[in-house]
């Protein structure tokens, strides 16, 4: 497993090792000992799996606030998507900044997203599946969203002038400046 730092503080891109032959491949996507050896200690409590039938389906930017904030380990099980993360932690050196990554069944990459970040994605292929682990259970009373097109964040979703397919919830999400932010950045101690 290769754990890569990203531009956003505490966000990691993970490249699991793949072993392939004429039949296909095998990859270990989660191993507690291997992650702990990298300093990543998270107790996953829930797995989620989502299918988006149409390319251009945009889901996000979502988060869960304390006391049920969620870290996520995200990967693409089928198809291809552009995954976006925004730092929502007040006081973070990368607060309000975004970073995006192509995740696909072919490249096998994963994102380790800490609590305190908004997460979303747009599909690039039909029947794209996203699979992810969560560190806390779904708690609808704590869920929130940030507008996918907030100009203060300025995400380039790569939509090339086409309108994304959105849920009513995502269409109505507030801008970052209109949210009372529940997350505070805590610098890791060595």
Rounded to an integer, the average pLDDT of 52-75 is: 98
Q: Which residues are catalytic?
A: 62, 132
128 has pLDDT over 70: yes
Q: Are 136 and 44 contacting, i.e. CB atoms less than 8 angstroms apart?
A: no
Q: For 78-95, write each residue's pLDDT tens digit.
A: 999 999 999 999 999 999
Q: What 3-state class would DSSP assign to 34?
A: helix
Tell me, what's the pLDDT at 61?
98
Q: For 98-123, write each residue's pLDDT tens digit.
A: 999 999 999 999 999 999 999 999 99
Q: Report d(CA 36, CA 60) in Å as an integer.
A: 29
* Predicted TM-score of the model (pTM): 0.94
Q: For 2-33, write each residue's pLDDT tens digit.
A: 999 999 999 999 999 999 999 998 999 999 99
Tell me, what's the pLDDT at 121?
98
Q: What is the mean pLDDT of the chain?
A: 96
Residues whose CB falls within 8 Å of the CB of residue 71, separated by 6 or more in sequence, listed in order = 42, 112, 113, 114, 115, 134, 135
Q: Are 145 and 59 contacting, i.e. CB atoms less than 8 angstroms apart?
A: no
Query: Which tokens sit at 57?
Result: 């389906």
Tell me, what's the pLDDT at 181?
87
């Amino acid at each position: 497993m290769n754990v890569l730092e990203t531009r956003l503080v505490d966000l990691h891109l993970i490249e699991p090792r793949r072993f392939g032959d004429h039949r296909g491949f095998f990859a270990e996507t989660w191993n507690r000992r291997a992650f702990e050896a990298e300093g990543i200690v998270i107790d996953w409590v829930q797995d989620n799996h989502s299918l988006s039938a149409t390319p251009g389906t945009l889901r996000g930017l979502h988060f869960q606030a304390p006391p049920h904030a969620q870290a996520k380990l995200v990967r693409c099980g089928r198809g291809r998507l552009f995954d976006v993360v925004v730092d929502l932690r007040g006081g973070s050196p990368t607060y309000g900044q975004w970073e995006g990554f192509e995740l696909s069944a072919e490249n096998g990459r994963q994102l380790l997203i800490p609590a305190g970040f908004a997460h979303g994605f747009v599909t690039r292929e039909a029947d794209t599946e996203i699979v992810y682990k969560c560190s806390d259970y779904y708690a609808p009373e704590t869920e929130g969203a940030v507008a996918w097109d907030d100009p203060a964040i300025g995400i380039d979703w790569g939509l090339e002038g086409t309108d994304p397919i959105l849920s009513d919830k995502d269409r109505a999400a507030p801008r970052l400046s209109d949210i009372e932010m529940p997350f505070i950045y805590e610098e890791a101690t060595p």
